[in-house]
Chain A
Amino acid sequence: MKKNHILVTIILFLVIFFLSIGSVNAEIINSEQIDKGDGYQINNYVMHLTSTIIMGEIYPGIDFYGLQSDGTNINLKEYVKTTKKTDGTMSIVFEKGTEKINIEVQNATSSYVIIDIQTTGITVEYKTPVDGGISNAKYIGEPNLILTKSVDKTSVDVGEVIRVTIKAKNTGNGVAKRINIDRGLTPDFTFKSDIYTSYPTELDVSNKETEMFIYEIQATKAGTFQLGPAIATYYSSVFDDEYTSKSESLTITVAEEPIETSEIKLSVSTDKTKLKRGDTVKFKVNVENLKDVTASNIRIEPIIPKNLTYVSGSEEIDIINEKPIIQVSSYGGYYKAEYLLTFKADQIGNDNLIVKWTYNNGVEEISDNTTSEMVFISQGDFDFLAQFPIYVYITPIIIILALAGWFYWRSRQFRI
Chain B
Amino acid sequence: MLNVLIIGVGQCGNRILDAINKEAFGGGRFSKYYSSQKFASRVETIAINTAINDLKEMRNTKAKDRIHIPNLHGLGANRILGKKCFNDNKDLIMRNISERGDFDVAFVISSSSGGTGSSFSPPLVKELKEIYDFPVYSIMVLPFREEGTIYLQNSAFSIKEMRQSGSDGMILADNQYLKNAGSNIQSAYDGINKMIAERILFLLEALDSEMMLVTDLGDFKTVMSGGDGIATIGYAKGDAKTPIRTTIRESISPNGLLFSSNVYEEASRAMIILRGDQKYLSIDDISAEIDKLSSHIGHVFKGVIIRNGETPKVLSVLTLESTVELEKLYALAVEAIHIEKDKRKRVALQNETDTTFSMIDGLEPEY
Give residues in A with beta carbon < 8 Å to B. 406-407, 410-416
A416 touches B33 (CB 8 A): no
Smallest beta-carbon distance B230→chain A, Å: 34
Residue of B whose beta carbon sits closest to that of A415: B63
Nearest CB in chain B to that of A412: its residue: B63
The one of B52, B55, B56, B62 that contacts A413, using a Cβ cutoff of 8 Å: B62
23 contacts between A and B (CB under 8 A): A406-B33, A407-B33, A410-B32, A410-B33, A411-B33, A412-B63, A413-B62, A413-B63, A413-B64, A414-B32, A414-B58, A414-B59, A414-B60, A414-B61, A414-B62, A414-B63, A415-B63, A416-B52, A416-B55, A416-B56, A416-B63, A416-B66, A416-B68
CB under 8 Å from chain A, chain B span 41-99: 52, 55-56, 58-64, 66, 68
B55 (CB) vs chain A CBs: closest residue: A416
CB of A121 to closest CB in B, whole Å: 148
A50 vs B33: C-alpha distance in the bound complex, in angstroms?
A: 152
Cα distance, A413 to B33, chains bound together (Å):
10
Q: How far is the CB of B329 from chain A (nearest CB, A)?
A: 35
Q: Which residues of B contact A407 (CB under 8 A)?
A: 33
Residue among B32, B55, B66 with most chain A CB within 10 A: B32
Which residues on the A side are within 8 Å of B55 (C-beta)?
416
Cβ–Cβ < 8 Å partners of B63 in chain A: 412-416
A97 to B56, CA, bound (A): 160
Contacts of B66 in A (CB 8 A): 416
Q: Name A's interface SS.
A: helix
Query: How close is A108's CB to chain B, nearest CB, in angstroms?
Result: 156
Name the residue on B nearest A409 (C-beta): B33
Q: A414-B32, A416-B63, A416-B66 are in contact. List 19 more A-B contacts (CB 8 A).
A: A406-B33, A407-B33, A410-B32, A410-B33, A411-B33, A412-B63, A413-B62, A413-B63, A413-B64, A414-B59, A414-B60, A414-B61, A414-B62, A414-B63, A415-B63, A416-B52, A416-B55, A416-B56, A416-B68
Interface residues on B, range: 10 to 19
Instruction: Give the docked Cα–Cα distance between A251 and B69 (Å).
Output: 121
Task: Give chain B residues whose Cβ lies under 8 Å from the Cβ of A414.
Answer: 32, 58-63
CA of A410 to CA of B33, assembled, Å: 6
Q: Which 8 A-B pairs have the closest CB atoms?
A: A416-B63, A410-B33, A413-B62, A407-B33, A416-B66, A414-B62, A415-B63, A416-B56
C-alpha gap A406/B35 in the complex (Å): 12
Roughly how many angstroms separate A142 CA and B32 CA in the complex, as a whole number? 134
For residue A111, give the distance in angstroms from its CB to the closest CB of chain B: 150
In the bound complex, how far is the Cα of B33 from the Cα of A412, in angstroms? 11
CA gap between A74 and B181 in the complex, in Å? 151
CA distance A415 to B64 in the complex (A): 9
Inside 8 A of B59's CB, which chain A residues have their CB?
A: 414
Inter-chain CA distance A254–B275, complex, in Å, is 119
The distance in angstroms between the C-alpha atoms of A407 and B58, with both chains bound, is: 17
Please name all residues of chain B whose beta carbon is closer than 8 Å to the beta carbon of A410 when the two chains form the complex: 32-33
Least CB distance, B340 to chain A, in whole angstroms: 36
Output the nearest chain A residue to B61 by Cβ-Cβ distance: A414
- Chain B residues 302 to 339 lying within 8 A of chain A, measured CB to CB, are none
> Which of chain B's residues have a CB closer than 8 A to the CB of A411?
33
Complex formed: what's the CA distance from A411 to B29 in Å? Answer: 12
Q: Which residue, A411, A412, A414, A415, has most C-beta atoms of chain B within 10 A?
A: A414
Chain B hits for A415, CB < 8 A: 63
Chain B residues with CB below 8 A from A412, complex form: 63
Q: Which residue of the partner chain B has the closest CB to A406? A: B33
In B25-47, which residues have CB < 8 Å from any A CB? Answer: 32-33
How distant is A413 from chain B, measured CB to nearest CB, in Å? Answer: 5
Q: Which residues of B contact A413 (CB under 8 A)?
A: 62-64
Residue of B nearest to A410 (CB): B33
CA distance A410 to B36 in the complex (A): 11
**Cα A407 to Cα B29 with chains together (Å):** 13
Give the residues in chain A near B56, CB-CB below 8 Å: 416
A412 to B61, CA, bound (A): 11
**Complex-state Cα separation, A235 to B73, whole angstroms:** 146
Q: Which residue of B lies closest to A416 (CB)?
A: B63
Q: How far is the CA of A415 from the CA of B61 in the complex (A)?
A: 9
Q: How far is the CA of A158 from the CA of B52 in the complex (A)?
A: 105
Please report the C-alpha to C-alpha distance between residue A406 and residue B33 in the assembled complex, in whole angstroms: 8
List, in ascending order, chain A residues with CB within 8 A of B52's CB.
416
Which residues of A are found within 8 Å of B32, using beta-carbon distances? Answer: 410, 414
A278 vs B257: C-alpha distance in the bound complex, in angstroms?
65
Measured CA separation A121–B236 after assembly (Å): 169
The answer for the CA separation of A260 and B52 in the assembled complex, in Å, is: 91
Shortest CB-to-CB span from B26 to chain A, Å, is: 14
Q: Which residues of B contact A416 (CB under 8 A)?
A: 52, 55-56, 63, 66, 68
Most buried by B among A411, A412, A413, A416: A416
Give the nearest-CB partner of B52 in chain A. A416
**Distance to closest chain B CB from A58 (angstroms):** 157
Q: How far is the CA of A413 from the CA of B59 in the complex (A)?
A: 10
CA distance A16 to B61 in the complex (A): 168
Nearest CB of chain A from residue B8's CB, rounded to whole Å: 15
CB distance from A410 to the nearest CB of B (A): 5
Q: How far is the CA of A411 from the CA of B66 in the complex (A)?
A: 15
Which chain A residue has the least Cβ–Cβ distance from B18?
A: A414
Give Cα distance in the complex from A407 to B62, angstroms.
14
State A202–B60 Cα separation when bound (angstroms): 135
Q: How far is the CB of B36 from chain A (nearest CB, A)?
A: 11
Q: How far is the CB of B96 from chain A (nearest CB, A)?
A: 14
- Residues of A near B60 (CB, < 8 A) are 414
- State how many angstroms separate the Cβ of A404 from the closest Cβ of chain B: 11
* Assembly CA distance A175 to B58 (angstroms): 138
Point out which of B33, B60, B62, B68 has the most chain A C-beta atoms below 10 A from its C-beta: B33
Complex contacts, A406 vs chain B, CB 8 Å: 33
Shortest CB distance B167–A (Å): 29
Min CB–CB distance B272 → chain A (angstroms): 36
CB-CB under 8 A from B58, the residues of chain A are 414
The minimal Cβ–Cβ distance linking A164 to chain B, given in whole angstroms, is 106
CB distance from B23 to the nearest CB of A (A): 15
A29–B66 CA distance with the chains assembled, in angstroms: 164
Set of chain A residues within 8 Å of B62, measured between Cβ atoms: 413-414
Bound state CA distance, A413 and B37, in angstroms?
14
- Nearest Cβ on chain B to A313's Cβ, whole angstroms: 49
What residues of A have a CB within 8 angstroms of the CB of B61 in the complex?
Answer: 414
Complex-state Cα separation, A413 to B68, whole angstroms: 16
Complexed CA–CA distance, A410 and B32 (Å):
8
